[in-house]
Structure 1
């Protein structure tokens, strides 16, 4: 016998299934909206973070040119490169008199940029002074020499021989490092590889991330 009750129940089941599907669809739409908002928020934060860094780098470039300081400034990172012949004699980690004169001109201007305003000061977490050598000579000797040169520059900056208004603030940000021939052109004694670099590590970058970023940029610029 045909049961009329069955006809009444089937539409009710269809309605329940439709209701469940609509709920899942609404949930997915809500999640997608949340992810979209988070993505936009991250993009805005990254843009806000990049803007002061570009201003800082641009200010470094302007100040070096404006004060006729003979250095090479990377327009993307703000790295300041000083050829070692300005600072040291060959195979020596003792600053030359001419090197000290150069640092007396360069450091006050460079430090003034870092502490130009509270935003710059906050954004620049660290200044790394790196010594570099060419591939000429023994690897271990080059590594040691590069570190000793970076330390010599750092010690001179904070010695009694050099005075500038932001000296003690700068001390809290500086770190010396030796890179030796690790970033030199392979098997080529290129004088341009012998240098001291002042590098910014910006706020929010842990050291490993900062190091990888700089390694990548150096490879691109070669």
Structure 2
């Protein structure tokens, strides 16, 4: 005997309403999180821009002619003035640049920036570079030695200046070798950059549920 056809059980109106409400809630939470994330990023970039501008202004007011990237604050210590080609021994010209730059830079970062701004700076990177002449491995070694030569000079040869210990505690030497060099030999590629390493956002602490 044929059984009568039965319609499949459908969600009740109450169940459907519950799912819609939950969906709306999740959409709302995502919108809140997205808005919060954008606000945090905008605020962080504004803080970084302010740090860069403050450092640039301090250098300008001190009469220092250091090539500085207006977006990142990277300071270019040209190695053709600081080092002989293929060498990592600081020349007198390079030492003179550091003698002028480091006290002003340390004072700006550790005495003139606010505590909140200082917290944004995790490291101060001393980044060595070479031109494209020579092998990759030898250039990487040379660039690291140049960065270390800058740190060693600040630590052991420069007279003491305010905030010197704090400056050194933040500094890290790294080598980029010929990675950013021109295809052919270019003296401008032989340089050392002093650059900021800024604090990254911990997104696990930014969830709306933790506010």
Q: TM-score range by the shorter chain?
A: 0.7 to 0.9
Answer 1 or 2: higher relative contact order, Cα 8 Å, separation at least 6: 2
Structure 2: distance between partners of 1:44 and 1:18 = 39
Relative to the length of structure 2, the TM-score reads 0.84
Q: How many residues align?
A: 193
Unaligned runs of 5+ in 1: 1-12, 207-222
Superposition deviation, residue 205 in structure 1:
6.8
Listed one character per residue, the Cα deviations across residues 183-206 of structure 1 (whole Å, up to 9, x for unaligned) are 1122x1111111100111111279
Structure 1: distance between partners of 2:44 and 2:72 = 14
**1:48 maps to which residue?**
43
Root mean square deviation of aligned Cα: 2.1
Superposition deviation, residue 99 in structure 1:
1.5
Q: Point out the structure with max Rg over C-alpha.
A: 1
- The reply on whether 1:126 has 2:123 as its aligned counterpart is yes
The answer to whether the 8 A contact 1:124-1:201 is kept is: yes
Unaligned runs of 5+ in 2: 1-8, 203-211
Listed one character per residue, the Cα deviations across residues 102-134 of structure 1 (whole Å, up to 9, x for unaligned) are 111001111222212312221100011011011
The answer to whether the 8 A contact 1:150-1:178 is kept is: yes
**1:193 maps to which residue?**
189
Moved over 4 A (4+): none
Moved more, 94-103 or 112-121: 112-121
**1:3 maps to which residue?**
none
**Change beyond 3 A, Cα 1:196–1:143:** same
Q: Which has the higher helix share?
A: 1
